[in-house]
């Protein structure tokens, strides 16, 4: 949590970023890149504007047929790496709407807020740090405070362009709670108020005892969760980077109360390294595009002893991709106090009872999708390619009959399609029989399909081989149908 502090820490970093970005090969200018990615997303079915047939719904997005596969691949790789491949981890999938007492105990009802300033002329509302000309003077030093700031002399209201000195008074900034409110049951009374969760994390604390009692884990161990979170962001934007409804992948890793800094720092470092490995080995992102920001004490949540933001060189500037924090035993002790339940763990070796401390690595799913799109978008002379690692590709391969109007080719291609999808279970495989083969290659390149398999007359008349066109090299070797599984699987490692 610690929303106010983290927001301001990042504001300064965000601004210096756009210019410092390194150009990647075959990449359009950074300014154009976001536009091109948004357009690719719409054109090819990664991400659509939400509620579009009703004129759209600002800052709401729907993942389309291709986007949902990319997003699922990211989530599945994450779950595999951090839950299935570790004996010290286990997962949960908790309710989106929890009892309001949870948010009272965690401090979200009081503290989960961003500063907000209203233009006295046009009444538009802004997060002050997102107004060009914003200058921070002091940071938040205790809960409830708002950092003090000013605007440079040439600042104007981003909406009505009135000079800031006439319409934006820093002393009138207010705290704005980001929790989404709703009502449970048929009457809209205060007693029925509930909130959509603003983070997945709290469920891991609330379910801590149940997991402990059922999962046969010993400290240190972690609970993971992937799911939606909701924040009534004042200034959402930059496509799927900051939305009001988004998805998180979070871990609460429970450790024994540390006696020395080294006792918690070794786990913090373990997670730091694991987060970098995920970025490098699963997402395939060049580590040069990642920057670790050690969040200074004055900008951290008051209960956090160390926080790192992992920032990515997005086209709009260096901005937070993931975070890692040591949260002490703040959360469990808050929930123990508020619920009256004993949440302590009993060490089976020493019989000592204690409240574990927590290291929290946290990942945004949508920001991961956006980073992957930005990292692997390439423009070449005759095509656009999403050159992501094949394991992330929405479709692992596409199958085409050379000609749509030759039933024998279509039947054989259907056979190959069903072999790959049903028998070999390679993951999603695309089927395309529209247009000519060149156009099919073009559209599969745009969504990053690593292999295009064409069934032609040689397949049925000669040797049961197909052409397998490689997305990256454009080579088209002939491969025996029975060898396709190995051929494709090799690339998915
Ligand atoms: P920011 O400062 O950018 O608002 P935060 O520090 O408040 O982010 P956390 O509370 O640490 O974010 O949330 C964990 C992760 O969830 C972030 O690292 C990010 O990937 C993702 N995330 C947070 N807010 C949003 C949002 N509004 N839209 C999309 N993803 C988000």
Among candidate residues 275, 305, 125, 106, the one with its CA nearest the CA of residue 198? 106
61-63 and 429-431: which strand pairing?
unpaired
Whether residue 122 contacts residue 13, with contact meaning beta carbons closer than 8 Å, is answered with no
Which residue has its alpha carbon closest to ligand 1 atom 11?
A: 323
Does ligand 1 have an atom closer than 6 angstroms to the CB of 2? no
Which residue has its alpha carbon closest to ligand 1 atom 28?
A: 242
Does ligand 1 have an atom closer than 6 angstroms to the CB of 10? yes
Q: How far is the CA of 414 from the centre of ligand 1 (A)?
A: 44
Which residue has its alpha carbon closest to ligand 1 atom 7?
A: 3
Does ligand 1 have an atom closer than 6 angstroms to the CB of 367? yes
**If DSSP codes are grouped into helix, strand and coil, which group holds residue 173?**
coil
Read off the pLDDT of each residue in 457-471 and give the average, rounded to a whole number: 96
Which residue has its alpha carbon closest to ligand 1 atom 15?
A: 364
Q: How far is the CA of 74 from the centre of ligand 1 (A)?
A: 17
Q: pLDDT-based confidence at 424, cuts 50/70/90? A: confident
Read off the pLDDT of each residue in 276-282 and give the average, rounded to a whole number: 98
Segment 364-409, tens digit of pLDDT = 999 999 999 999 999 999 999 999 999 999 999 999 999 999 999 9
**Residue-by-residue DSSP string for 430-490:** EE--SS-HHHHHHHHHHHT-SEEEEE-HHIIIIISEEEEEETTT----EEEGGGHHHHHHH
Higher pLDDT, 29 or 36: 36
Among candidate residues 268, 297, 369, the one with its CA nearest the CA of residue 6? 297
Q: How far is the CA of 233 from the centre of ligand 1 (A)?
A: 10
Query: Does the pLDDT of residue 486 top 70, yes or no?
Result: yes
pLDDT at 20: 30
Q: Please list the residues that pair with 270 across neighbouring strands.
A: none
pLDDT at 143: 62
Distance CA 336, CA 62 (A): 38
Query: Does the pLDDT of residue 214 top 70, yes or no?
Result: yes
Q: Which of 199, 320, 322, 326 to mutate to test the pocket of ligand 1 (most atoms within 8 A of CB)?
A: 320
Read off the pLDDT of each residue in 109-127 and give the average, rounded to a whole number: 89
pLDDT at 24: 44
3-state secondary structure 209-262: HHHHHHHCCCCCEEEEEEEEEECCCCCCECCCCECCEEEEEEEEEEECCCCCHH
Query: Does the pLDDT of residue 3 top 60, yes or no?
Result: no
Calculate what percentage of the chain has a pLDDT beyond 70.
Answer: 92
Distance CA 149, CA 219 (A): 44
Q: Which of 11, 15, 367 to mutate to test the pocket of ligand 1 (most atoms within 8 A of CB)?
A: 367
Does ligand 1 have an atom closer than 6 angstroms to the CB of 323? yes
**If DSSP codes are grouped into helix, strand and coil, which group holds residue 395?**
coil
pLDDT at 492: 82
Does ligand 1 have an atom closer than 6 angstroms to the CB of 327? no
Which range (36-45, 80-89, 175-184, 274-283) has the least confidence? 175-184
Q: Which atom of ligand 1 is nearest to the CA of 244?
A: 27
Burial class (CB in 10 A: 0-12, 13-18, 19+), 68: middle
Read off the pLDDT of each residue in 8-14 and give the average, rounded to a whole number: 32
Q: Which of 242, 285, 316, 325 to mutate to test the pocket of ligand 1 (most atoms within 8 A of CB)?
A: 242
Q: How far is the CA of 364 from the centre of ligand 1 (A)?
A: 6
Segment 296-311, tens digit of pLDDT = 887 788 889 999 999 9
Does ligand 1 have an atom closer than 6 angstroms to the CB of 59? no
Does ligand 1 have an atom closer than 6 angstroms to the CB of 428? no
Q: Which atom of ligand 1 is nearest to the CA of 309?
A: 18
Does ligand 1 have an atom closer than 6 angstroms to the CB of 108? no
Among candidate residues 298, 327, 324, 326, the one with its CA nearest the CA of residue 311? 324
For the chain, the farthest-separated pair of C-alpha atoms sits apart, in whole angstroms, at 80
Burial class (CB in 10 A: 0-12, 13-18, 19+), 340: exposed
Q: Which atom of ligand 1 is nearest to the CA of 362?
A: 14
Does ligand 1 have an atom closer than 6 angstroms to the CB of 30? no
Which residue has its alpha carbon closest to ligand 1 atom 29?
A: 242
**Residue-by-residue DSSP string for 354-393:** EPPEEEEEEEEHHHHHHHHHHHHEEEETTEEEE---GGG-
Q: Which atom of ligand 1 is nearest to the CA of 231?
A: 27
Distance CA 416, CA 381 (A): 32
Distance CA 181, CA 391 (A): 39
Does ligand 1 have an atom closer than 6 angstroms to the CB of 233? yes
Distance CA 194, CA 192 (A): 6
Which range (109-123, 336-350, 460-474) has the least confidence? 109-123
**Phi, psi torsion values for 428, nearest 5 degrees:** -60, 135
Read off the pLDDT of each residue in 308-334 and give the average, rounded to a whole number: 97
pLDDT at 144: 64
Q: pLDDT-based confidence at 142, cuts 50/70/90? A: low
Q: What angle do CA 447, 241, 37 make, to 5 degrees?
A: 30
Strand order in the sheet with 193-196: 97-98, 193-196, 180-183
Distance CA 128, CA 176 (A): 12
Q: How far is the CA of 248 from the centre of ligand 1 (A)?
A: 8
Read off the pLDDT of each residue in 86-113 and give the average, rounded to a whole number: 95
Q: Which of 248, 304, 359, 370 to mutate to test the pocket of ligand 1 (most atoms within 8 A of CB)?
A: 248
Q: How far is the CA of 323 from the centre of ligand 1 (A)?
A: 8
Distance CA 98, CA 198 (A): 11
Which range (62-71, 104-113, 318-327) has the least confidence? 104-113
Query: Does the pLDDT of residue 4 top 70, yes or no?
Result: no
Helix residue ranges, H only, 98-186: 100-106, 108-111, 164-167
Q: Specify the DSSP class assigned to residue 186.
A: S
Average pLDDT value for the chain: 91
């Amino acid at each position: 949590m610690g929303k106010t502090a983290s927001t301001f820490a990042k504001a300064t970093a965000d601004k210096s970023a756009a210019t410092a970005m390194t150009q990647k090969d075959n990449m359009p200018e950074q300014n154009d890149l976001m536009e091109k990615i948004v357009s690719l997303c719409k054109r090819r079915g990664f991400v659509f504007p939400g509620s579009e047939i009703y004129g759209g719904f600002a800052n709401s997005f729907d993942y389309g047929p291709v986007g949902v596969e990319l997003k699922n691949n990211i989530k599945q790789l994450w779950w595999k790496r951090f839950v299935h491949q570790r004996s010290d981890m286990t997962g949960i999938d908790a309710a989106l709407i929890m009892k309001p007492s949870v948010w009272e105990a965690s401090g979200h009802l009081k503290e989960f807020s961003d500063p907000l300033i209203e233009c006295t002329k046009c009444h538009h509302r802004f997060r002050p740090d997102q107004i060009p000309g914003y200058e921070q003077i002091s940071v938040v030093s205790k809960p409830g405070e708002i950092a003090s700031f000013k605007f440079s002399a040439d600042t104007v209201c981003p909406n009505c362009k009135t000079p800031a000195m006439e319409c934006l008074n820093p002393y009138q900034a207010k705290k704005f709670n980001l929790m989404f409110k709703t009502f449970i049951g048929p009457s809209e009374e205060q007693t029925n108020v509930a909130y959509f969760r603003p983070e997945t994390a709290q469920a891991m604390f609330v379910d801590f005892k149940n997991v402990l009692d059922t999962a046969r884990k010993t400290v240190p161990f972690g609970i993971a969760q992937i799911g939606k979170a909701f924040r009534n962001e004042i200034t959402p934007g930059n496509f799927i980077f900051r939305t009001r409804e988004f998805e998180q992948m979070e871990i609460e890793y429970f450790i024994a109360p540390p006696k020395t800094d080294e006792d918690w720092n070794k786990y913090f470092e373990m997670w730091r390294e694991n987060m970098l490995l995920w970025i490098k080995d699963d997402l395939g992102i060049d580590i040069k595009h990642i920057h670790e920001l050690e969040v200074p004490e004055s900008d951290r949540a008051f209960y956090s002893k160390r926080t790192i933001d992992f920032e990515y060189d997005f086209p709009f500037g260096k901005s937070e991709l993931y975070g890692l924090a040591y949260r002490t035993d703040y959360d469990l002790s808050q929930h123990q106090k508020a619920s009256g339940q004993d949440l302590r763990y009993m060490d089976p070796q020493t019989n000592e009872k204690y409240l574990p401390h927590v290291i929290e690595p946290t990942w945004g799913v949508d920001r991961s999708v956006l980073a992957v799109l930005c990292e692997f978008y390439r423009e070449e002379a005759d095509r656009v390619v999403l050159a992501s690692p094949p394991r992330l590709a929405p479709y692992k391969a596409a199958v085409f009959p050379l000609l749509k109007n030759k039933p024998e080719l279509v039947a054989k291609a259907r056979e190959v399609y069903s072999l790959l999808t049903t028998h070999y279970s390679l993951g999603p495989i695309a089927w395309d029989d529209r247009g000519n083969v060149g156009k099919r290659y073009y559209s599969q390149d745009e969504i990053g399909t690593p292999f295009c398999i064409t069934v032609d007359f040689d397949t049925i008349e000669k040797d049961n081989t197909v052409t397998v066109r490689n997305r990256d090299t454009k080579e088209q070797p002939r491969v025996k149908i029975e060898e396709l599984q190995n051929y494709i699987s090799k690339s998915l490692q």
